[in-house]
Amino acid sequence: MAVKRFTKMAYGSADELIFGRAKNPLSYGFGIQVGAGKVITEINYAPRPGTEKSPETLRREYVDYISKDCLDRAVSIGLPDLQLETEWISQMSESRISAPVVEGQKEITEKYHEEYGINTAVRHTIPDKRDTDHGMRVGMDKVNGGPEMLFESAEIACENGADVFSVESMGGKELADYAITNGDIVAFLFGVGYLGSLDMTYIWPQFVDICKKNNVIPGGDTNCSGANTSMFMAGGFLDNDVQRTFSAITRAIASARTVVAWECGAVGPDKDCGYEGPICKAIGGNPTAQEGKQCHCAHCDIQSNLMASTCDLWSNESVEYHPEFGGSSVQCWLATLGNEVMLMNTSIQLKQDKVLRDLYMYADRIRGPEAYILSYDHAYEIGKAITDNGNDLYLRAKAAGETAANIILEGYKSKELPLTKKQLDVLEDCIKKFEALPDNEDAFVEQCLEKYKDVPMFHPKNYGF
Amino acid sequence: MLSSKGVDFSKILKRYDVELEVEATPEDMAKNLLPKDPVFRKVAEEVLYMRLKTIIPSVTEALKSKDPLSVINEGLVAGMEIVSKLYAQHVYYLPEIMMAAKTMEMGISLAEKQLEGGKRKTKANVIMHTAEGDVHDIGKNIAVIMTRAAGYEVFDMGKDVPVDDVVAKTVEVKPLFVSGTALMTTTMSAFPRIAAKYVEKKLNVPFMGCGGAVNREYSNSYDLGIYSDKAAQTPLIAEKLLAGYDWKRVREEWDVIVRGE
C-alpha cells in the first residue's frame, strides 16, 4: 500500500478532540466499537515468572487465569465492553508457544460474548526483537533472523485470532538510549524522529498486508522504547534523572514517528505507552488507546487524569498477575479502569463530556511540562506543526519538538507553568540546539551520520543508508 | 474550554520539584570538596564540569609534574567522587553523570599509558548483563558507567545473554558480583537459574537482580541473590562486598547500605 503522509489535521479545532469519539470510528471483535460515542476499557497484563516454561503453562496463565479473571470481573461490575491486550513476552516469537495463547483468548472472549452479551476483543502486541548489530531488515541478520521473526510473529498473531494488531517497534532505539542518558535532544530527533520514522515506513506496510490478509485490524505503534523510557526516567517529583522538559519534548518528537503506522495503512486504535495519543489523534482522527492513572502499577505517572481527556480506549500499564485482597491483580486494576470508563460514558450520556474532559485536563495541566504539552489545546498545536511539514520526516519531527519546547517556554513566561531552574536550563538548551539545526533533510542527515557514528549499536545500513 | 481564571491550583496539587529545588550551584557545592593541590584540582575540575575538549591537555600537563597513578586517583577519580555527591544532592542528574564519567575515562586512558603494564589496578571485576530473552538494556548501560566510574573493571556482556554464557564468564573472570537486568517478568526467571548453577558449581558469587520488573522480594528469593533498585545504588553495594560482606549480610543491611551509610 502506498504511504500517504498527513499534511492536514483530521480535526478543525482543538475543541473537537474528546474522549469516546474519533473521526474514523472502528468496529471489530465481538461487538466492539471504538471512537463511536463511548470509551472502551482495555486491560494490559503480564504473566508470572516461571509460567513461560512450557506452552501449556503459559496458555493456562494467559487464558484460564488472566483472561477469565478479567472477563469475570468485567461482568461482575457491569462493564458492557472489554478489550484484552496481550503484550507478547519474548518467548512467544515461537509459534508453539504463542499460537495456543492467541487461539485460547479468542475462544474465551467469544464464549463470554455469547454467554453474557459483553462486547469483547483482543489486541495482540508483538515484540520487536531485531538486533541492530545483526541487522534490522529482512535478509540482514544471519545469526538470529530477527527481522524475519518480527513478521512471522505478526503472522502468528493474525492467523490465530487477533482482533487488533500492534507492535512497539524499536527503530532508532540505540540513538534514543544515547539521547536520554546524555541529554542530547538532537540525537533523539535523529534516532526516533527521523530513523524511527524510516524504520516504521519499512515495517508497517508489511504488517498492514498481513493484517488485511487475515481480516485483522492494524492498530498502530508507540514509542515505548524512547518516549516512555524518557518519561519513566523523569519519574515523579523525587526522581528527575531526566528533566521533564526534555522528556516532554521527546514525546512530541515521537508523535511525528508514531503516526507513520497510520500513514502506512494502519487505522487505530494505536498503542498507548509512549503517551503520544492526544497528538496522533488530532492529526489522524483515528481512535487511540491511552493510559494514565492506572499506570502506577508499573511506573510513576504525573499526567494521570489528563490522559483520559482524549482517549477512545482507557488502559493501564502492564500489571503482573498475582493475588490481591480483592481478587487477582488484573481484576483489581480492571475494576479501577472500568469504573473510570463508566464515569466517562456517563458524562457522554448526560452531555457533560466536554466538562469532564476539561476537568481531567486541568487536574494535571500544570503538574509538569509533559502534561502541559499533552493538554488537548497544545497537542493540537503540535499536531498542526507536524502536518504543516507532513511530507518531510525530518522537518516535521523537528517542528514537533520545537513547538513543544516553545509551548512550555510560553507557559513558563506567562507564569502558568512553573519550572525548576534546571528544567528551564535544559529547555533553553534544547531550543538553542533546534535553532542551530539545518533547514533541510540532507544536511541534517549528513551532520548526524558523522556526529553519531560512534554511538554503540548504531549502523546506518539498518535504515537504508 | 472551561476557564481556569481564578482557580487556585495550589489547592489541587503541590509542585514539590519547584518548591524544594536545591538552589546551590555545582560551583558552590564543590568548592570545599575539590583537591587542595592546584594540579589535581585542575584535573578534578575538568571531570566535574564535563570538559571533554580540555581534559586531554589538562591531564597531559598534570603528568609532567605528577605520577600517573596520582593523577588518576587524586585528580580524575576525586573529580568523579564530587560528581557522585552532587548527583545524590539533586544538583547533578543522569546526563551529567554520563558526561563526567566519559571525561574521566578519557583522562584515565591517557594516564594509564604511562603506567607500568598500561593499566591501573581496579577494585575488582564485575559482570553485568541483560537477561536472556530481554533486549531492554538502558538501565544496565547506566549501571555499567556508574560502576566503572566507581573504580571497578566491568565486563559488559550486553543484552539477551544466555544463562550458560553468564556462568562461563563468571568462572573465567572471578567477579566480586554479577548483575542481571530484566524488564519482563518472564525473563527475570533467568536469575534464579544462574544462581542455581553457581551453587551447583560451588561459586560463591553474589547475583544482583535489577530492572523494571524485578523487586527486592524476588531477588532475595534465591540463594546468592541480592537486589539493587537503582543504578546509583550498585557501587554502594559493591563497596560493602569489597569490604567482605557476603550476600546474606548485604540483604540484612540493604536499607542502610543504599542510603550510603
CB A401 within 8 A of CB A434: yes
Instruction: Give the H or E element holding residue B145.
Output: helix B138-149
When CB atoms are compared, the residue of B18, B23, B94 closest to A241 is: B94
Distance CA A25, CA A312 (A): 9
State whether A422 and B21 contact (CB < 8 Å). yes
Q: What is the pLDDT of residue A154?
A: 98
Query: Right CATH number for B15-118 from 1.10.8.100, 1.10.3720.10, 3.60.110.10, 1.10.1240.10?
Result: 1.10.1240.10
- Supply the mean pLDDT for chain A: 97
- Nearest C-alpha neighbor of A289 from the set A40, A73, A24, A15: A40
Q: What is the pLDDT of residue B49?
A: 97
Amino acid identity, position B53? K
Beta bridge partners of A27: A33
Cell of A174: 540505540
CB B161 within 8 A of CB B119: no
Q: What's the Cα-to-Cα distance from B220 to each of A299, A405, B216, B230, rounded to whole Å?
A: 22, 44, 6, 16
Alpha-carbon torsion (A28, A31, A32, A37), positive or negative: positive
- Nearest C-alpha neighbor of A67 from the set A88, A40, A91, A86: A86
Locate the chain B residue with the closest alpha carbon to A184.
B95
CA distance A31 to chain B (A): 32
Distance CA A156, CA A154 (A): 6
For residues B241-247, average pLDDT: 97
For residues A268-283, average pLDDT: 95
Q: Which of A15, A17, A90, A230 to mutate to test the interface with B (most CBs of B within 10 A)?
A: A90
For residue A98, pLDDT over 70 is answered with: yes
Q: What is the pLDDT of residue A356?
A: 98
- Nearest C-alpha neighbor of A303 from the set A169, A294, A204: A294
Of the pLDDT bands very low, low, confident and very high (cuts 50, 70, 90), residue A311 is very high
Q: Torsion angle, CA of B158/B161/B163/B167, rounded to 10 degrees?
A: -30
Q: What is the pLDDT of residue B180?
A: 97
> Which DSSP letter does residue B121 get?
P
Q: Which of B138, B142, B163 to mutate to test the interface with A (most CBs of A within 10 A)?
A: B138
For residues A71-85, average pLDDT: 98
For residues A258-283, average pLDDT: 96
Question: What is the phi/psi pair of residue A30, to 5°?
Answer: -100, 75
Q: What's the Cα-to-Cα distance from B162 to each of A27, A47, A57, B142, rounded to whole Å?
A: 43, 21, 22, 21
Distance CA B127, CA B171 (A): 11
Contacts of B136 in chain A (CB under 8 A): 225
Q: What is the pLDDT of residue A266?
A: 98
Locate the chain B residue with the closest alpha carbon to A420.
B18
- Supply the mean pLDDT for chain B: 94
CA atoms within 13 A on the CB side of B197: 15
Other C-beta atoms within 10 Å of A460: how many?
Answer: 13
Please give the model's pTM, rounded to 2 decimal places: 0.94
State whether A131 and B141 contact (CB < 8 Å). no
State whether A362 and B2 contact (CB < 8 Å). yes
Q: What is the pLDDT of residue B88?
A: 82
CA atoms within 13 A on the CB side of A325: 0
Contacts of A180 in chain B (CB under 8 A): 138
Q: What is the pLDDT of residue B261?
A: 75
Q: What is the pLDDT of residue A51?
A: 95
State whether A46 and B95 contact (CB < 8 Å). no
What CATH architecture applies to the domain B125-257?
A: 3-Layer(aba) Sandwich (3.40)
Q: What is the pLDDT of residue B85?
A: 87
For residue B147, pLDDT over 80 is answered with: yes
CB B222 within 8 A of CB B192: yes
State whether A49 and B134 contact (CB < 8 Å). no
Please tell me whether the peptide bond between A269 and the residue prior to it is cis, using omega within 30 degrees of 0. Answer: yes
Residues A320-335 have pLDDT tens digits of 999 999 999 999 999 9
Locate the chain A residue with the closest alpha carbon to B87.
A241
Q: Which of A16, A375, A420 to mutate to test the interface with B (most CBs of B within 10 A)?
A: A420
Contacts of A355 in chain B (CB under 8 A): 2
Residues A247-265 have pLDDT tens digits of 999 999 999 999 999 999 9
Residues B179-215 have pLDDT tens digits of 999 988 889 999 999 999 999 999 999 999 999 889 9
Residues A158-211 have pLDDT tens digits of 999 999 999 999 999 999 999 999 999 999 999 999 999 999 999 999 999 999
For residue A420, pLDDT over 70 is answered with: yes
ipTM rounded to 2 decimals = 0.91
For residue B260, pLDDT over 90 is answered with: no
Q: List the domain boundaries for chain B.
A: 15-118, 125-257
- Please check whether the two domains, B15-118 and B125-257, share a CATH topology: no
For residue A359, pLDDT over 70 is answered with: yes
Regarding beta strands A40-46 and A313-315, do their DSSP bridges make them parallel or antiparallel, or are they unpaired?
Answer: parallel
Q: What is the pLDDT of residue A1?
A: 66
* Cβ pairs bridging A and B (under 8 Å): 107
CA atoms within 13 A on the CB side of A278: 32
Residues A113-149 have pLDDT tens digits of 999 999 999 999 999 999 999 999 999 999 999 999 9
Residues B103-123 have pLDDT tens digits of 999 999 999 999 988 888 899
Find the length of chain A.
465
Q: What's the Cα-to-Cα distance from B256 to each of A28, B149, B177, B261, rounded to whole Å?
A: 54, 22, 19, 6
Cell of A198: 524510516
CB B218 within 8 A of CB B169: no
Q: Is A191 exposed, middle or buried (0-12, 13-18, 19+ CB in 10 A)?
A: buried
Residue B154, SS3? Answer: strand
> Which DSSP letter does residue B181 get?
E
Find the length of chain B.
261
Angle between helices A197-213 and A244-258 (to 10 degrees): 50
Residues A370-386 have pLDDT tens digits of 999 999 999 999 999 99
The percentage of chain A sitting over the pLDDT mark of 90, rounded to a whole number, equals 97
For residues A51-79, average pLDDT: 97
Q: Which of A92, A131, A181 to mutate to test the interface with B (most CBs of B within 10 A)?
A: A181
